[in-house]
Structure 1
Amino acid sequence: MLNKSITMLALSAAITSFSAPAFSADLVLYDALDFSGKVAKAFEAKTGLKVDVVEPGSTGEVLGKIAAEGDNPQFDIVWLDGSAVMERMAADHILQPVPADLIDKAAFTDFGKSLIPTSHAFLPTGASTTAIEVNTKKVADDKTPKSWADLKNFAGEVAAKDPNLSGPAYQWLAGFFQTNGLDTGKDLLAKVLTNKSQSGLSSGGKVNAAVLTGKASVGINQDSAIFSKIASGEPVKAVYPSEGSIALPQGLGISAKTQHMDAARKFIDFVTSAEGQAAMQDGKDTDFYFMPLIVGVKGKPGRPADIAFIKLDDKVASSHEAEWKQWYKDHFVP
């Protein structure tokens, strides 16, 4: 009888933990950004609130975890690179609009204001873009590509990320189709990404490694990943393609089913403050090299701010997300 009671209690506890939020913290954050842990610790020290930082891995893995949770989401806020994926989650009612007063309160630069979605699906906390990463020891100055079209000269030697795993890579792919046209873009990629062992990489770190080890001469990579390597003295440079650079916002979104809205509001307030922005730059990995969107905040040394950005058509990109990711997987992923 005692064993049966213990078993029933254990089963009851398991059911309860599955059907209710599994965390006892004041706020549960899902993310795929290098600086989130630093920001959470600084926020905890400032407010006394407890944040559970859950990092399943890449953006694709975070999105997969959210999808698997279905109608029982376990997160309060999510922080990812990419406006298209955030707009899609808002359209699917996974996210709720960020309150207008929080957006209005933040001291956004003009560029920052331009990245605020009309839907308020997310709050932009910083930005980057995708550039051409060039190994300066393998590629002479007069051979350096200046456009996406020039990458045809490096067919088989181009490293790239799989958009199914990388948020920045999907933002780039959708932007690539926007600036080149869908059919022309697909045709160009078919001529450039001819080596599947290098075109289906899972992260910017692996693109960096491929370019630095010589497995690839050039890479299609998030510019902040390139600047992190430049800062450490590696022989690479970032080239912004002549076709234009699609803006890649870091998006902070709020779960449609959060029960911790007050804590979420406080976290957003902190992230957009000078103190929160400082925590976002307190490191040397890729995401610490973002372009700030808050007035008075400067990027890390070496982070350019004079890029001519193109804004992604998020409605088109989010509506074709599954289709274009599958197309890329079918053609360029081993």
Structure 2
Amino acid sequence: MNLLVTGGAGFIGSHFVRAVLADRLPGLEGASVTVLDKMAYAGNFANLGPVAESKRLDFVPADASDAPVVGAALRGHDAVVHFAAAGVTGIEVLLEAAHRLDIARFVHVSTGDVYGSIDSGAWTERSPLTPTTPAAAARAGADLMALAYHCTHGLPVVVTRGSDNYGPYQHPGRTIPRLVTALLDGRAAPLSGDGGRVRDWLHVDDHCHGIALALLEGRPGEIYHVAGTVELTERDLTGLILAELDLTWDHVTATPGHKTGDHRRALDDDKIRRELGWRPRIEFSSGLATTIAWYRANPTWWRALQSE
């Protein structure tokens, strides 16, 4: 199988690419990958370092909204896995090219951000989209565009929405690496507001496993949630990181709260479990420990991003 992966130099996209090229995703053994990434914010070619010499990898440094480049890059591929946060314009370019070239599968990787906040319970795939930030609204618009291409043109689109991810190679501006790298650097860990914001944490490896299942077995026109394994307040998360590093709360400093109104996010993943047999395989405490160990072992990688 030949895959075009947009945003494949970012955090989740690069993990997916590394997993494919290492033959760690059942059903995708031997697949070739073309990464299309404009290298903005989280895009970092160093994320592909472990597989950079693979003969099954090609790299196109371009924006997903560049129609001529996308059209040329997509020829000869069987499927698209769209990680790039390209908004409605970018995804429409990709969808139109995929429709024109009769691509066999288009997986649009979205997030639970599109639902906004929920006080109790969990969002299902049938819940209304109520994004509270411009970035989440752009994601929601891209989701709807992808599903519309299935309804109008029959393009075999599958949408996935994941919980908050963590793991190696995540940009140090994100929650867990921001806390971890500050502590490893001897600085105070920044705790936002009262630390009461709640997130459901999903290891990036489990997320990529769910995306692979959606690519291979998901029903066209459907949405699948890939949900986390543990729900924590940011304060409780900080406490777990401190304990792993054998540090005390003296190493934490309060910072202004987040502007977003999403106090709590949670996804119901019953559908992907029933239909595709997905199960999370990484228990949070062990996943957190190995993630912290990776940041401890790779200071050159994250310090280079902090200096940008």
Q: Same fold (TM over 0.5)?
A: no
TM-score (norm 2): 0.29
Looking at both structures, which has the greater relative contact order when contacts are Cα pairs under 8 Å and sequence separation is at least 6? 1
Q: Which is richer in helix?
A: 1
TM-score (norm 1): 0.27
Higher-Rg structure is 1
